[in-house]
């Protein structure tokens, strides 16, 4: 029993990561009906930006030469609860904003010029962006797998056991990941359903041209979707680094495919569906690895995808967008 | 948006895509070394190793080791007198058999290329060696340990390191007899290297009297081992054996210890790299074990000379596990080239007869290399079967265990 619970907890944590990335796929699809294949690379970029921010803010080995002025700030960030909370807030905010802006930039230069082109064109463009980003990191940062820790090997975030009952342990890191992803979904869901800009997003998603005629600034709405999606992906990228311990230029590929799968399982275009799909996929994967052979976990996860698509082609929650008549 | 504007942006996107493609293309090849144009006849040695993906730290070390041998050879009077210039060309196999096959085809189509120093991964060699065989190109690997590679009837294949049939059992013997570990969990990374090593280790550990509580497969690109860790924890073992390379191995070690499984992780030569300790963190890697073929570089018969020459050539690089072996492997090819150039004439070296003669000459190799006497048995396996067990010490570096 405790073994099952432990595996469930692993799965829910992994699911939280998938869900965050899946939100990005589904948000862009909901508005543009386009699959942003470069999204997995924005997840990767988030991991790298986060590592850079963490190093500048709290790794003593970096605070030399031109960055020596960071010394006092590092002392603050490395001491006490307040410093730690500030460090986390700064890391996630800066990573999300930088990667969000990168997303906007990609939309502006790689997708917007192709908005009226046949649907394959932006898809190919997305694959081009994906290759470009991977190689940019490979050449300008490192081709090696980099540890997510300070130069002396200490982790930025030490995970503690929060709860222990029977043989089951829940760590702070796991709670941190799951709670953050749920809060972000809640925020996004409310934002889209309740705010003026959210209404503009829904209108654009239903009928782009009509929305434009009604005075909605289509370009800003799409740019916003390309800011929020990658920003959430970046948060997942930083979590991924902290939780699993490393980043690599091609690390986005597999989680990207899994999260895309999660978005499809939940019903692509549907925010809550992406979340549901993410958690479902994470849990299935963990249980498959735990009770069958570890090598089969991906196979089982994708069998679930196939089954869902056979019986519910629109995904579990279907598409929330109203049919165009 | 007007058509003209759209075209302009299309052009930018196309340009970006083109740059990305060129960048990927360039990442792979590129030639270096060679001490200037000393001789009229150019002979090329291919260096096949993972340079952008897979065990990059080991692969880049292989390139440095081999290039050091080639630079020294070009500077020697013997090579100059023969009118030879030995050049090197790098092929990036990414540790991936398919990419390795492409590299091999590229090497085989190079008219001046007579030998290949590489590859690191057994799975890559399994594909590449057949292509070299057809082209009469000799292959000397510094690092392949899969047992069957020398049993495939490939007369052009040699290796200067001991194989898994030596390495796996030696590791298991150490773990059971010296280390006192009784119950193991064995994990591999689904590559021919990892599976072979893990199988051999598990067999010997059981034969010694130990219990193998579980055997699991993962992928060499995995970074998430949380569910496996929960499984291993439930198995209640005192050592985990990992057949694979350091990228994933270090993360497994880290996640094991974070998950409360405080037992050492043991592996083969694929873990034996400073990068392993960097990725896992010194505090976590402490006590982890790795076997590696041969002796520590510093304890090799000519180790100190090698270290001095290496540090002079690459002052800012650390010596990785296979650098000395790559140096010896490249020298085996160089010595064969020189002997063929002497007997047949320098201009005949790159002909088919010349290449066949080089293969025959490598088979008769016998010289004192950095790692000891370099010579091969009838299958192409090294006669030097030394294995050393290393552990991560308190100082955060690999050190040979005291026996």
Number of compact structural domains in chain B: 2
> Residue B351 has what pLDDT?
92
Residue B236 is assigned to a structural domain of this protein: yes
Separation between Cα atoms, residue B209 and residue B383, nearest integer Å: 29
- In Å, how far is B344's CA from the nearest CA of chain A? 43
Nearest residue to A254 via CA among A308, A316, A297, A306: A297
Residues of B in contact with A295 (CB under 8 A): 190, 216-219
pTM: 0.81
Separation between Cα atoms, residue A108 and residue B396, nearest integer Å: 47
> Are residues B306 and B326 both part of a single domain?
yes
Number of compact structural domains in chain A: 1
Q: Which helix (H) or strand (E) holds A163?
A: strand A161-165
The SS3 of residue B367 is: strand
> Are residues B99 and B130 both part of a single domain?
yes
The fraction of chain B above a pLDDT of 70, given in percent, is: 90
Separation between Cα atoms, residue A137 and residue A132, nearest integer Å: 9
Residue B261 is assigned to a structural domain of this protein: yes
Residue A10 is assigned to a structural domain of this protein: no
> Residue B402 has what pLDDT?
65
Whether A139 and B23 lie within 8 Å, measured CB to CB: yes
> Are residues B198 and B81 both part of a single domain?
no
> Are residues B195 and B213 both part of a single domain?
yes
Whether A154 and B230 lie within 8 Å, measured CB to CB: no
The SS3 of residue B247 is: helix
Whether A251 and B17 lie within 8 Å, measured CB to CB: no
In whole angstroms, how large is the CA radius of gyration of chain A? 20
Q: Is A129 on the interface with B (CB under 8 A)?
A: yes
B5 to chain A: closest CA residue: A113
Residue A289 is assigned to a structural domain of this protein: no
Across the interface, of B52, B190, B224, the residue whose CB is closest to A143 is B52
The pair phi, psi for residue B185, each rounded to 5°, is -115, 125
Residue B286 is assigned to a structural domain of this protein: yes
> Residue A308 has what pLDDT?
86
> Residue B28 has what pLDDT?
37
Find tokens 């399982």 and name the residue. Answer: A265
- In Å, how far is A101's CA from the nearest CA of chain B? 18
> Are residues B231 and B248 both part of a single domain?
yes
Helix, strand, coil shares of chain B as percentages rounded to 5? 50, 20, 30
Whether A149 and B5 lie within 8 Å, measured CB to CB: no
Structure tokens at A278: 């993410």
Collect all residues with Cβ–Cβ distance below 8 Å to B387 and sequence separation of at least 6: B162, B166, B167, B170, B171, B291, B292, B293, B294
Whether B260 and A254 lie within 8 Å, measured CB to CB: no
> Are residues B174 and B283 both part of a single domain?
yes
- In Å, how far is B360's CA from the nearest CA of chain A? 38
Owning domain of residue A76? 16-252
Q: Is A44 on the interface with B (CB under 8 A)?
A: no
Quick check: B160 pLDDT over 50? yes
End-to-end CA distance of chain A: 51
Quick check: A294 pLDDT over 60? yes
Residue B75 is assigned to a structural domain of this protein: yes
The SS3 of residue B311 is: helix
Picking from A3, A4, A6 by the largest number of B CB atoms within 10 A of its own CB, the best residue to mutate is A6
Quick check: A320 pLDDT over 60? no
A323 pLDDT tier (thresholds 50, 70, 90): very low
The model's pLDDT over B51-110, given as tens digits with 9 standing for 90+, comes to 998 889 999 999 999 999 999 999 999 999 898 999 999 999 999 999 999 999 999 999
Q: Which residues lie across from B243 on neighbouring strands?
A: B188
Residue A285 is assigned to a structural domain of this protein: no
Residue B125 is assigned to a structural domain of this protein: yes
> Are residues B148 and B236 both part of a single domain?
no
Residue B2 is assigned to a structural domain of this protein: no
Residue A1 is assigned to a structural domain of this protein: no
Residues of A numbered 244-263 whose beta carbons fall under 8 angstroms of chain B's beta carbons: which are they?
Answer: 244-246, 248, 250-251, 254
Quick check: A235 pLDDT over 90? yes
Q: Are A53 and A73 in contact (CB under 8 A)?
A: no
CA angle centred on A189, ends A184 and A190, rounded to 5°: 100
> Are residues B307 and B273 both part of a single domain?
no
Q: Are A273 and A39 in contact (CB under 8 A)?
A: no
Collect all residues with Cβ–Cβ distance below 8 Å to A296 and sequence separation of at least 6: A288, A289
Find tokens 């006192």 and name the residue. Answer: B180
Quick check: B18 pLDDT over 80? no
Collect all residues with Cβ–Cβ distance below 8 Å to A22 and sequence separation of at least 6: A259, A260, A262, A263, A266, A274, A275, A277, A278
> Are residues B217 and B120 both part of a single domain?
no
Q: Is A318 exposed, middle or buried (0-12, 13-18, 19+ CB in 10 A)?
A: middle
> Are residues B199 and B256 both part of a single domain?
yes
> Are residues B238 and B356 both part of a single domain?
no
Residue B355 is assigned to a structural domain of this protein: yes
Q: What is the mean pLDDT of chain B?
A: 88
Residue B376 is assigned to a structural domain of this protein: no
Owning domain of residue B359? 33-161+300-370
A5 to chain B: closest CA residue: B230
Whether A10 and B226 lie within 8 Å, measured CB to CB: yes
DSSP secondary structure, A279-315, as one string: HHHHHHHHHHHHHS-GGGHHHHHHHHHHHHHHH-TT-
> Are residues B274 and B394 both part of a single domain?
yes
Residue A323 is assigned to a structural domain of this protein: no
CATH code assigned at B173: 3.40.50.2300
């Amino acid at each position: 029993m405790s073994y099952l619970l432990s595996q469930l907890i692993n799965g829910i944590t992994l699911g939280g990561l998938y869900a965050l990335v899946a939100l990005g796929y589904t948000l862009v699809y909901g508005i543009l009906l386009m699959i942003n294949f470069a999204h997995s690379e924005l997840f990767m970029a988030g991991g790298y930006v986060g590592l850079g921010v963490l190093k500048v803010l709290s790794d003593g080995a970096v605070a030399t030469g031109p960055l020596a002025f960071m010394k006092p700030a590092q002392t603050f960030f490395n001491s006490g609860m307040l410093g730690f909370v500030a460090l986390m807030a700064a890391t996630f905010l800066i990573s999300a904003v930088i990667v969000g802006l990168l997303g906007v930039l990609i939309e502006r230069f790689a997708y917007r010029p192709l908005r009226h082109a046949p649907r394959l064109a932006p898809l190919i463009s997305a694959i081009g962006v994906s290759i470009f980003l991977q190689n940019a990191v490979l050449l300008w940062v490192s081709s090696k797998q980099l540890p997510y820790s300070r130069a002396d090997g200490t982790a930025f975030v030490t995970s503690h056991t929060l709860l222990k009952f029977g043989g089951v342990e829940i760590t702070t890191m796991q709670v941190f990941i799951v709670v953050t992803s749920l809060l972000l979904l809640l925020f996004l869901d409310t934002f889209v359903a309740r705010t003026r800009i959210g209404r503009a997003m829904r209108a654009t998603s239903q009928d782009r041209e009509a929305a434009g005629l009604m005075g909605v600034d289509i370009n800003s709405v799409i740019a916003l979707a390309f800011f929020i999606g990658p920003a959430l992906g970046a948060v997942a990228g930083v979590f991924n680094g902290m939780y699993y311990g490393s980043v690599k230029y091609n690390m986005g590929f597999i989680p990207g495919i899994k999260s895309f799968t999660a978005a499809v399982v939940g019903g692509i275009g549907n925010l809550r569906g992406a979340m549901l799909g993410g958690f479902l996929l994470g849990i299935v994967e963990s249980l498959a690895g735990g009770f069958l052979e570890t090598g089969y976990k991906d196979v089982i996860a994708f069998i679930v995808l196939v089954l869902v698509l056979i019986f519910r082609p629109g995904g579990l929650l279907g598409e929330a967008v109203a049919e165009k008549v | 948006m007007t058509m003209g504007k759209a075209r302009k942006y299309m052009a930018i996107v196309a340009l970006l895509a083109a740059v990305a493609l060129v960048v990927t293309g360039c990442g792979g090849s590129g030639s270096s070394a060679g001490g200037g144009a000393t001789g009229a006849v150019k002979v090329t040695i291919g260096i096949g190793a993972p340079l952008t993906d897979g065990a990059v730290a080991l692969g880049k070390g292989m390139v440095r080791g081999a290039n050091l041998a080639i630079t020294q050879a070009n500077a020697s009077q013997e090579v100059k007198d023969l009118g030879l210039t030995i050049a090197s060309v790098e092929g990036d196999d990414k540790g991936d058999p398919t990419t390795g096959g492409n590299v091999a085809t590229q090497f085989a189509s190079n008219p001046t290329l007579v030998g290949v120093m590489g590859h690191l991964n057994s799975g890559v060699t399994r594909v590449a060696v057949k292509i070299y065989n057809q082209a009469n190109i000799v292959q000397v690997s510094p690092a392949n340990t899969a047992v069957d590679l020398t049993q495939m009837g490939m007369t052009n294949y040699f290796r200067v390191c001991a194989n898994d049939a030596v390495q796996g059992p030696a590791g298991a013997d150490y773990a059971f007899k010296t280390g006192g570990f009784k119950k193991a969990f064995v994990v591999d990374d689904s590559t021919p290297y990892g599976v072979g090593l893990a199988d051999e280790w598990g067999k010997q550990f059981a034969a010694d009297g130990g219990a193998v509580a579980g055997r699991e497969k993962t992928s060499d690109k995995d970074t998430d081992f949380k569910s496996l860790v929960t499984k291993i924890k439930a198995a209640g073992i005192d050592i985990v054996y990992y057949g694979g390379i350091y990228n994933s191995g270090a993360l497994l070690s880290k996640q094991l210890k974070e998950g409360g499984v405080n037992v050492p992780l043991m592996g083969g030569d694929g873990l034996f790299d400073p990068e392993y300790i960097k990725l896992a963190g010194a505090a976590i890697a402490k006590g982890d074990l790795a076997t590696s073929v041969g002796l520590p570089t510093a304890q090799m018969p000519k180790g100190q000379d090698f270290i001095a020459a290496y540090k002079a050539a690459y002052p800012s690089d650390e010596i990785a596990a296979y650098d000395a072996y790559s140096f010896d492997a490249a020298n085996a090819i160089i010595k064969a080239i020189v002997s063929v150039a002497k007997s047949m004439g320098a201009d005949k070296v790159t002909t088919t007869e010349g290449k066949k003669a080089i293969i025959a000459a490598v088979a008769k190799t016998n010289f004192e290399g950095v790692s000891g006497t370099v010579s091969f048995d009838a299958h192409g396996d090294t006669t030097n079967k030394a294995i050393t067990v290393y552990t991560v010490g308190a100082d955060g570096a690999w050190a040979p265990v005291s026996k």
